[in-house]
């Protein structure tokens, strides 16, 4: 509760400072106008909310634009609340891409004409993790591609080419998921984490059983933990899954109680500093997920 009130207050504060922000931005412009003009043309600057839009946009622009991320690596995206400096950044950005208002309500509440929800209208009540559906991920990339081409006409040809390559990559992923997840000993994904992988389960006829049946970071109940342990034992499950954003103790406990091994599934909405430094792409993360699903569900 305390956190929610904090968020509301923050938004009130944001509304008050947004006017100030406009004048700050204006001051900055005036100063820049007086600064010596550089001969070197700057790359376009594109701001993204989190790693999902970041990696899709990086696929499109490569090094032709400077892409930055509002949420630093390691941040838990569902409970993210922007600081006044983040709101200023969005208001000053020429282009700001975020996922959508259901997953990132704070982004849609910030008044900025250059903000765009790449996953607009794609989320469902049951599942906010739209990029786990390959067709929806392609639509997100398509909207980013069209917008970048319109905003930065000099990049048009290259971005169009890169989008075509990305769409082929994603289509190949889709084919690999279909074929590799067709014949598996188990179809139950026992996941010590939250409901990020519902779309994969739905699209490939798997049963997704997350310990935390919510998008919010919350503690699982002892009853849910015991029920999961019981099912894993009854079904003679060999592998369970978890995600990086959670401390490993819960998965370790369930693994030790059930004699299972733990495999990682990558949400992509949460990334570590190391993964960011390596610039692991959407495609690479989704292939890692497929590899671990194939192993954990004993597919052939
Ligand atoms: Zn999530």
| Domains in the chain with CATH codes | 2-27+42-177 (3.40.50.1980), 182-296 (3.40.50.1980)
- CA–centroid distance, 194 to ligand 1, in Å, is 7
Backbone dihedral angles phi then psi of residue 116, each to the nearest 5 degrees: -140, 130
| Measured distance CA(292)–CA(149) in Å, rounded | 36
**Element at 263 (helix H, strand E):** strand 261-264
What is the structure's pLDDT at 20? 36
Q: Which of 4-8, 44-48, 141-145, 241-245 has the lowest mean pLDDT?
A: 4-8
| Measured distance CA(130)–CA(121) in Å, rounded | 10
What residues are paired with 240 via a beta bridge?
262
- CA–centroid distance, 191 to ligand 1, in Å, is 13
Q: What band does 113 get if pLDDT is binned at 50, 70 and 90?
A: confident
CB 106 within 8 A of CB 243: no
Q: Is 30's pLDDT higher than 70?
A: no
Q: Is 191's pLDDT higher than 80?
A: yes
What is the structure's pLDDT at 112? 82
What residues are paired with 299 via a beta bridge?
184
| Measured distance CA(208)–CA(189) in Å, rounded | 5
Which one-letter DSSP state was computed for residue 192? E
Q: Which of 38-42, 162-166, 271-275, 287-291 has the lowest mean pLDDT?
A: 38-42
- CA–centroid distance, 104 to ligand 1, in Å, is 11
Q: Is 28's pLDDT higher than 90?
A: no
- CA–centroid distance, 234 to ligand 1, in Å, is 29
| Measured distance CA(230)–CA(187) in Å, rounded | 17
Task: Take residue 223 and report the two structure tokens written for it.
Answer: 């009853």
- CA–centroid distance, 268 to ligand 1, in Å, is 9
Total-model pTM: 0.85
**Residues sharing a CB contact under 8 Å with residue 146, sequence separation 6 or more, in sequence order:** none
Q: What is the mean pLDDT of residues 261-280?
A: 97
Q: What band does 7 get if pLDDT is binned at 50, 70 and 90?
A: very low
- CA–centroid distance, 193 to ligand 1, in Å, is 9
């Amino acid at each position: 509760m305390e956190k929610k009130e904090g968020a509301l207050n923050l938004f009130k504060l944001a509304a008050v400072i947004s006017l100030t922000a406009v004048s700050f931005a204006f001051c900055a412009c005036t100063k820049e106008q007086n600064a010596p003009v550089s001969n070197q043309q700057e790359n376009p600057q594109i701001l993204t909310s989190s790693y999902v839009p970041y990696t899709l946009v990086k696929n499109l622009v490569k090094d032709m634009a400077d892409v930055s991320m509002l949420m630093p690596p390691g941040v838990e995206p569902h409970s993210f609340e922007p600081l006044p400096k983040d709101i200023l950044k969005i208001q000053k950005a020429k282009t700001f891409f975020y996922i959508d208002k259901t997953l990132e309500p704070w982004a849609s509440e910030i008044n900025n004409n250059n903000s765009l929800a790449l996953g607009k209208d794609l989320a469902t009540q049951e599942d906010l993790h739209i990029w786990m559906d390959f067709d929806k991920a392609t639509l997100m990339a398509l909207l980013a591609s069209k917008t970048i081409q319109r905003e930065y006409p000099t990049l048009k040809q290259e971005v169009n080419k890169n989008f075509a390559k990305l769409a082929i990559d994603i289509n190949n992923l889709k084919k690999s998921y279909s074929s590799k997840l067709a014949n598996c000993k188990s179809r139950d994904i026992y996941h010590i984490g939250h409901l990020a992988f519902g779309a994969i389960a739905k699209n490939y006829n798997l049963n997704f059983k997350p310990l935390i049946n919510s998008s919010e970071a919350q503690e699982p109940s002892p009853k849910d933990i015991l029920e999961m342990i019981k099912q894993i034992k009854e079904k003679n499950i060999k592998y369970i899954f978890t995600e990086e954003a959670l401390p490993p103790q819960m998965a370790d406990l369930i693994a030790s109680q059930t004699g299972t091994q733990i495999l990682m599934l990558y949400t992509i909405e949460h990334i570590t500093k190391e993964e960011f430094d390596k610039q692991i792409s959407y495609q690479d993360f989704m292939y890692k997920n497929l590899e671990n699903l194939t192993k954990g569900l004993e597919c052939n």
